[in-house]
Structure 1
Amino acid sequence: MSNYYQNKFDDLKLKYEISEAINDICNLYLDNKPKKLEKYKKTNQFWYFIKNIKFIEHMDNHILTLSLIKGIKEQYIFSNDFLELIFQKDKEILIQAIKYSKIFLKSSEENFINIKNFYLSKNIYLDFFKATDILDNKYNILKNKVNNEIIRLKSFAYFDLIFYMSLYTMKQTNKYYTLTEYENTGDILTKILHDRLKEPDKKRSDYKFEESGIRIVDLLSKNKYNDGLQKLETIINIYKELYLFENTTIVTFCFDDNFQFEIINEELNLKVIDINKYKKCIPPPKQAQEVNEHRRPLAAPVPAALPS
């Protein structure tokens, strides 16, 4: 059967460099603009075309990641041979695709199982996949409580957002964290999200970060929350300048290379690699005292590194 993407590529490569032609084809797949492309989804023509070993090396990493995310959502099953090609190009691409697609919350899906087993067989990213196990377990427990206790899913205030962010805030994955604490955390994260979505595509230079940080701290300070939320408050206070959202896409510190996580005593903990990167976000002692004059003390600053 004729392949639409192959035919399109054959035309483009006569006019452009191979890499440019390939990335144009990927953008065509991502855009979904021509209505006639809908019928090619079922036959997976794009992936049959792209699996050619000669093409992967020419693809832009970001475009490839976006394509993988879309493929995951369309439930196209990637073979181990294809995973190997992507891994050889850049071992981080598949990890990013897992994060952004949130497939780690659907651990029974074949793609997640294949990717997880692929990485485990190479003995890398072990902590990452252990973290996804913890999150998946907590996610299912909470979902069961929602069903069994007839709690509105909406009351969790962007239920998935909690897990999307908690992959790196980490304290929220504590196995002793209660249902109410998750709900309160979700309310806070939702208000933060709404605050950041008042204007689309905010730029750092156009946003009043200090006022935003104070509002967030004030929001947290009005309630008597436990250590988990105090730690979240500290992280937000340090990271307030970099909480950016582009339209409805969450672009948080979840994907900042300066943040990592580690597992200590079966719990996930945040690790800041270089705290100096955020010094400009932290007010001087006198200013901090004035800002928090009528508020409870902040939790201790997040350490530059946690003991392994």
Structure 2
Amino acid sequence: MLIQKIGSHDMNIAYVSCMPKDRDMILLMDKSDLLFDPETHAPFSYGDIREESFMKGENVVYVFSLDNRRVFTAVNVPSDFSEKCEHVFVRDLGKNHPELQLAGATVMHLKTWYKTHQYCGCCGGKNHHDMAERAMRCEKCDHLTFPVICPAIIVAVIDKENDRILLTRSARNKNSIFSLIAGFTEIGETLEQTAAREAMEETGVKVKNIRPYINQPWGFSSSLMCGFFAELDGSPELHIQQEEISEARWFDRDQMPVNDSPIDITHHMMEMWRQRKVDF
């Protein structure tokens, strides 16, 4: 059993080859929005929309179960149907419905993969859903393609001598909040090497004693986010990578900004350090 706890909720991500039934949940998405029933303000049940033309064949795929209720999605949703739905930005669900935020992120991850792997990368043949596992199989050459999962790191750099944490703001988003240093792993690189490289590239600091702490699937970027704590090694002087970072600052525990996304790995790591619940 592949059970992931989300607060009081259980998500079982084990793949099952099956067709939806009337009570099953259908998590539909349009870009970054979950599509809710405008009357119930909640996700659709299959019985509500089973007659829709897009709820047929390989367009409907099993995703996971949430609290023992099976969840499906549709890879492609027509614009005329989407316009009739209530749109809820998936990142806005973190405070009140963290289970739906993480579920929506997982659906985004899978939809991106399905849409970009409709044809075989080896021979160009049409791909179809494999019946035994979550994969796409080519009808011509039988090549099997599995979901793309990108390893990434997020690292809390600690100045132990002055009891401070290093936080940064992204240059790509004008409304970005202070967060931890993060980045994707390069080919041939360990996760620890990624943490050290990203710290140096983005802020100009060296780190040591890099320790793994926690990891989290993060469907928004099709990644598996691996969290580390690391100790400042040498000078705390900052030299930011302006293409990536708009601001970087050292914060004392009582000066740290609040990150209010309860299921976000950044929020968890920042709060654990702020509350002295990690030995670092």
Query: Which category describes the TM-score, using the shorter chain as reference length?
Result: under 0.3
TM-score by length of 2: 0.26
TM-score by length of 1: 0.25
Higher relative contact order (CA 8 A, sep 6+): 2
- The structure whose residues are more often strand, as a share, is 2
